[in-house]
Structure 1
Amino acid sequence: MKPKAVIVGAGLGGCMLAHGLLDSHDVVIIERGAAAVDGRYPVVDVGLPAVTDPHFGSGLGGSTQLWHNGLIEIDEEIFAAHWPFPKSALDPYYDQAFALLSGTSLTRVREAIGKLRQRYRDIGLPDGLLQGLYYPQWPRNVWEALQLQGRVEVVRADVVDFQLDESDGIASLTVADGELRRQIPGEVFVLAAGGLSSPVLLQKLAARRQLPALRHAGAHYEDHPMGFVGEVEVTVPLYRLWNYRVPGTDGNLRLPLVVKRAGLHMSFQLRPAANYYRNSRRERVGSVLNDLRRNPWNPWRYLQLFKHWDDVLDILSFKFGIRLPTRHYTLLLCAQMPTAPELSIWGEQDSANGSERRLRRWHLSDDFRRDLDASVQDVLAWLAPVTRRARVFAEWQNGLSSAAHHSGTARLSTDAGAGVCDADARVHGLRNLFVCDGSLIPSSGIANTGLTIAALALRLAAHLRRRPYRTPEESRP
């Protein structure tokens, strides 16, 4: 008889983990969301406003129903500085995850990154750290792409409590569907509810079992600040390369420029612009592409789109391979932010209706803001040899949004004094409770978190196939 794996959350991490466990476990997924955007579970910003909406995706497939995730590996330098294991430990799972999320091999894309870097150098761009960001032509809902329907048991309910056994483990989860409550037992339990929800569940567990690791649940929060910072006019035919179709695939490769400030990575994408904006024109470039991806049959969105000619250039290149010659580009910043051990994500009951909501405190310190300003000057200096003119938008920091890459809130660590989970994604001090979503990631640098979440899920699946769980004694060196 197979052991039962109970996974909380049907997003990217939960679906990928279920896929990896189907041959060895009976899999139950608990999913509370009824739709991709479910207003029953609000997130309230008590710090900076997110701007990006929604904060996360609900339902089968989670956020993969909403966004066209770019696939990018976290830099080896980030692993060495912040992770409890080297990047080489995750590389085999990066390969597997990349193939499942894109339909092509990571080896092919890595080769294309090397060749594209050379082509950048050939047109006169200086050497610099250029990360490879690959976009499959079409987004994938992982629930559908992995064909999980009918292969796993789905429980539509909300996890409200944990039942502990007598051997430092979880015996069952208490779930609620309206007024109805019941127990879901299992041999192994995995929280894959996302970087904003898994830490809140762990905080509920802390009310039953006080463990040093659980003090970190909801702390060490990281989410990339993003925004358009300025514009440049280049003297080289960058339009031929900026959105490069990888040979033998249907996807496109982009190489963000990366500079470093105060030990942090700051990336800049050059996005084609219809012309060079004057001061009398809009300072920030708006985008309705995410709205179109969520609702492609809304004609009003297409009318809005044609007011944004930069997005039209993007679509012509991305979908149809048409690269109109332009020398004007806007600079899109995506920055690594410093984390702090303060509580940033927590839950509370809404006094108005009694429902639970998530609170998020996203904060950018004054020192970090100065580093962001300096990084813009760094990248403009880096581009100077191929730039005719450049301009930084006034008050661009006021337009920063969060990237919805919620991470760090149940982070991996070598010991319970520094984070929630050990190197195997097991909660320190509990033998059969694991985490499998963005909250595990101790630092992502400037990388979108999707590919890494998928790789961590496959790594955890491999661990659980070898052994459903390990006791705390067996885990000690």
Structure 2
Amino acid sequence: MLAHALLASHDVVMVERGADALDPRFPVLDTGLSAGPDPHFGGGLGGSTQLWHNGLIEIDDEIFDAHWPFAKAELAPYYDQAFPLLAGTSLTQVARGIADLRQRYRSLGLPEGLLQGLYYPRWPRNLWTSLDLAGRVTLVAGDVLDFELDGSGQIAAMQVQVGEERQTVRGDVFVLAAGGLGSPVLLQRLAQRAPLPGLVHAGAHYEDHPMGFVGEVEVTVPLYRLWNFHVPGTDGNLRLPLVVKRDGLHVSFQLRPAATYHRASRRERVGSVLNLLRRNPWNPLNYVQLFKHWDDVLDILSFKFGIRLPTRHYTLLMCAQMPTSPELSVWLRPAEGEAPAVRVRHWVLTDAFRRVLDASVEDVLAWLKPVTRRARVFADWQSGLRSAAHHSGTARMSVGPEAGVCNPECRVHGLDNLYVCDGSVIPSSGIANTGLTIAALALRLAAHLRQRH
């Protein structure tokens, strides 16, 4: 997204360490809570847009007010610009669909509550392909090893491993976009050469979204009619997560249609293969896997074909905002002997946070009670929590270096020409998928660089 926006004003060189999203040369070791999804640390042209389904959602105004160094209004025009590039439709059109769907929920008797719109284009987009970047940028297929400084507060070059050779890549402006698990490791290497105050935060303040199925409900109203709600004039669908707030944290719940209600032993081990199917719809083995999970079949029928089988049974899928900690959570463990270097991720959910999650489940069940016939919380549901792979905060932006790595323009504190533009700069995302915000930040940074240079 950033390369696309800069091509009109800059010569763009992109360093990409791998051609494949699943690259065994760059493993991630979890030393805390097991994350679940693989990979954590993808590569390849297109970044995360080649891995996931482009679930598009804005970060809530309250999160900006509480955690960001600028108001959401600053990013709003770039949300507007990024949305059609990711979805093929305008944010204004989807916003109308969100308002319409909220009214439909209310007409079924659901109480007032915070319903945040999550839009899924029917088909995901790999931005490298959809923006036609091949041949328009200079591509260096290698892994960044180190930085060269010129002694005047600027980066002069990067040292890049290309096959068996080391190359020097020079430039006027450098932007790290290696993701929430990649950029902090590069900044930690830089800190060995330039011990700047803000770099002590590289790899700290880590935030991800713990996700999991928490229980199931039987409702008294035909909510299935609104599941995967089609937005008129688009090829995509809307979902409205229910959001509750506890101790300054947002916790969202999706009501996901369930094939049956009393399947305790199976429902609590439910697994979704939808991401596999969305990434590779031509692999018949993915369909074999899919038909082991009838609830995923319901999802596919409604998402792809608009078929909504009547059901009053739903599972509750939770996605929670995670409190951050100033402790180091992401770092590089160097190679030892035959053991390769690995990125280490230490993901920890505290007991206090787990109590907040329990209370939030009670909150959402109370919120749904007017339209609920019965409800059940899965026993030991927290043991099934997994990462949403929305790695952020590890090079977060802040007003000054005492609180973060980058300034509000995404420039590394203390350096004149080094920027970060990926999920790592996001100080908090609430319950929102980070893809749309990363794209908006890229367009905002491109506008800043065009003006500055």
Question: Which TM class, normalised by the smaller chain length?
Answer: over 0.9
For 2:93 and 2:280, the matched residues in 1 are separated by 32
Does the 8 Å contact 2:26/2:41 carry over to 1? Answer: no
For 1:87 and 1:237, the matched residues in 2 are separated by 35
Kindly report which structure 2 residues correspond to 1:70-109, keeping only aligned pairs within 5 A, or say none: 70-109=55-94
After TM superposition, give the deviation of residue 182 of structure 1 in Å.
Answer: 1.5
Structure 1 residue aligned with 2:296, among 302, 305, 311?
Answer: 311
Q: Which residue of 1 aligns with 2:111?
A: 126
Query: Under a length normalisation based on structure 1, what TM-score does the superposition of the two structures give?
Result: 0.94
Q: What SS is found at the alignment partner of 2:12?
A: strand
Structure 1 residue aligned with 2:280, among 272, 295, 303?
Answer: 295
Name whichever of 108-117 and 255-264 sits farther off: 108-117
Does the 8 Å contact 2:28/2:41 carry over to 1? Answer: no
RMSD over aligned Cα atoms: 1.0
The residue type paired with residue 334 of structure 1 is C
Instruction: Tell me if 1:152 matches 2:137.
Output: yes
Structure 2 residue aligned with 1:322, among 282, 307, 320?
Answer: 307
Kindly report which structure 2 residues correspond to 1:348-367, keeping only aligned pairs within 5 A, or say none: 348-353=333-338, 355-367=340-352
Q: What SS is found at the alignment partner of 1:26?
A: coil
Q: Which residue of 2 aligns with 1:284?
A: 269
Q: What SS is found at the alignment partner of 2:190?
A: helix
Instruction: Tell me if 1:175 matches 2:160.
Output: yes
Name whichever of 379-388 and 47-56 sits farther off: 47-56
Does the 8 Å contact 1:243/1:253 carry over to 2? Answer: yes
Q: What SS is found at the alignment partner of 2:264?
A: coil
Name whichever of 289-298 and 251-260 sits farther off: 289-298
Q: What SS is found at the alignment partner of 1:90?
A: helix
The residue type paired with residue 361 of structure 1 is H
Q: Which residue of 2 aligns with 1:185?
A: 170
After TM superposition, give the deviation of residue 354 of structure 1 in Å.
Answer: 5.5
After TM superposition, give the deviation of residue 277 of structure 1 in Å.
Answer: 2.4
The residue type paired with residue 261 of structure 1 is R
After TM superposition, give the deviation of residue 286 of structure 1 in Å.
Answer: 1.3
Structure 1 residue aligned with 2:321, among 322, 336, 354?
Answer: 336
Q: What SS is found at the alignment partner of 1:150?
A: coil
Does the 8 Å contact 1:56/1:63 carry over to 2? Answer: no
Does the 8 Å contact 1:260/1:266 carry over to 2? Answer: yes
- Residue identity over aligned pairs, in percent, reads 75
After TM superposition, give the deviation of residue 288 of structure 1 in Å.
Answer: 1.0
For 2:289 and 2:185, the matched residues in 1 are separated by 38
The residue type paired with residue 10 of structure 2 is H
Q: Which residue of 2 aligns with 1:69?
A: 54
Structure 1 residue aligned with 2:388, among 378, 399, 403?
Answer: 403
Q: Aligned in 2, Cα 1:378/1:301: closer, same or farther, shift over 3 Å? A: same
Instruction: Tell me if 1:164 matches 2:125.
Output: no
The residue type paired with residue 55 of structure 1 is H
After TM superposition, give the deviation of residue 293 of structure 1 in Å.
Answer: 2.6
Does the 8 Å contact 1:52/1:403 carry over to 2? Answer: yes
Does the 8 Å contact 1:57/1:65 carry over to 2? Answer: no
4+ aligned runs moved over 6 Å, structure 1: none
Name whichever of 353-362 and 38-47 sits farther off: 353-362
Q: Which residue of 2 aligns with 1:6?
A: none
Q: What SS is found at the alignment partner of 1:171?
A: strand
Q: Aligned in 2, Cα 1:28/1:354: closer, same or farther, shift over 3 Å? A: farther
Structure 1 portions without partners, runs of 5+: 1-15, 469-477
The residue type paired with residue 309 of structure 2 is L
Query: Under a length normalisation based on structure 2, what TM-score does the superposition of the two structures give?
Result: 0.99
Q: Which residue of 1 aligns with 2:207?
A: 222
The residue type paired with residue 100 of structure 1 is L
Name whichever of 50-59 and 351-360 sits farther off: 351-360
Name whichever of 112-121 and 186-195 sits farther off: 112-121
Does the 8 Å contact 1:20/1:461 carry over to 2? Answer: yes
For 1:319 and 1:99, the matched residues in 2 are separated by 20
Q: Which residue of 2 aligns with 1:377?
A: 362
Structure 2 portions without partners, runs of 5+: none
The residue type paired with residue 368 of structure 2 is L
After TM superposition, give the deviation of residue 352 of structure 1 in Å.
Answer: 4.1
Structure 1 residue aligned with 2:376, among 391, 413, 431?
Answer: 391
Instruction: Please list the CA deviations of residues 205-239 of structure 1 after superposition, one character each: whole Å capped at 9, or x if unmatched.
Output: 00001000000000000000000000000000101
For 1:220 and 1:195, the matched residues in 2 are separated by 11
